[in-house]
Amino acid sequence: MCEPKGMTRLPRTALLLLLPLMFFGGCGSKAGGSDADKAARIAEMYADYSKKFPQVEGISAEELRGLEPDRKVALVDVRTPEEQAVSMIPGAITQQEFDAHRANYADSLVVTYCTIGARSGEYAAKLREEGLEVRNLEGSILAWTHAGGELKGPDGPTRKVHVYDKRWNLAADGYDAVW
């Protein structure tokens, strides 16, 4: 085969190693692709994680946003303090605050969340066993961003959300992932 002058041919093994990078690497694209792709990935991941706590009922971000204003809800963020320092859903309290003042929430619907719903689902399962009315936010804070939910940071409203690393950069467009 004749090669153009100045060009060298890559060995077959190099091509086999590069092909997956070309197709799956995305040439600098965002981890999740389009908003629809990211939302689908969040739903898929949550469905997989939720198999570990099948007794816990979920609530979608849209359902949570649509709850009656007079409905008593304790929104509990089970993420680490470092994650919470980036942003939280307005009105949420930490797991530590909830545990310290549990009696204040006896007649509330407890909604737990984390990044995607795995840690919060495990905590929700524990609370359910203790007899509390609890739901796990399906897709958690990442799904919240896709529902157009607001976030608050230490200085007020923010568009930043903590994720584990760039593979978890599944927040909706317009939100900045921090890891």
pLDDT at 8: 41
Residue that wins the pLDDT comparison between 97 and 18: 97
Among residues 92, 114, 125, 177, which one is catalytic? 114
In 114-175, the DSSP E strands lie at: 134-137, 151-153, 156-158, 160-162
Q: How confident is the model at residue 32 (pLDDT cuts 50, 70, 90)?
A: low
pLDDT at 4: 41
What mean pLDDT do residues 127-154 have?
A: 97
pLDDT over 70 (residue 35): yes
- Condensed to tens digits (0 to 9), the pLDDT of residues 36-70 reads 999 999 999 999 999 999 999 999 999 999 999 89
Report the topology of domain 31-178.
Oxidized Rhodanese; domain 1 (3.40.250)
pLDDT at 164: 83
Those residues whose C-beta lies under 8 Å from the C-beta of residue 89, and which sit 6 or more positions away, are 75, 77, 113, 141, 144, 149, 150, 151, 152
**Structure token digits, residue 80:** 């680490």
| The CA-based dihedral angle spanning residues 141, 146, 149, 153, taken in that order and rounded to the nearest 10 degrees | 50
Q: Is 68 helix (H, G, I), strand (E, B) or coil?
A: coil
| CA of residue 162 relative to chain centroid, distance | 9
pLDDT over 50 (residue 122): yes
pTM of the entire structure? 0.82
pLDDT at 117: 97
Specify whether 2 is catalytic: no
Domain ranges of the chain: 31-178
pLDDT over 60 (residue 76): yes
